[in-house]
Amino acid sequence: MDVLLFWFGWTLRIPLVPALFFKLPWSSRIVSLLARRLPKRFCRRYCTDVGCSVDMDYGSGWNKLQKA
């Protein structure tokens, strides 16, 4: 999943694109195919300093949309 988010995470910000994509009957096959075929070394080498928050303390405003 990290590889898919690296390559296609920007599409999640486009209105209606994720909803339209996942309404396609073969979208799960496309996701599975891309997850296996996309290059992983570049993604994982580029994002080596990214860490996960496992304590579930994201703060009070972690899910609030703000325009930059």
Tell me the pLDDT tens digit for each residue of 4-38: 877 788 888 888 888 888 888 998 898 888 888 88
**Alpha helices of the chain — where are they, by DSSP H?**
2-8, 17-23, 27-37, 41-46
Tell me the pLDDT tens digit for each residue of 33-52: 888 888 777 666 666 666 65
The residue extents of the domains of the chain are 2-46
Tokens representing 59 are 């703060």
For residue 57, count CB atoms less than 10 angstroms from its CB and return exposed for 0-12, middle for 13-18, buried for 19 or more: exposed
pTM of the model: 0.52
* Residue 35: Cβ within 10 Å count: 14
* Secondary structure (3-state) at 64: coil
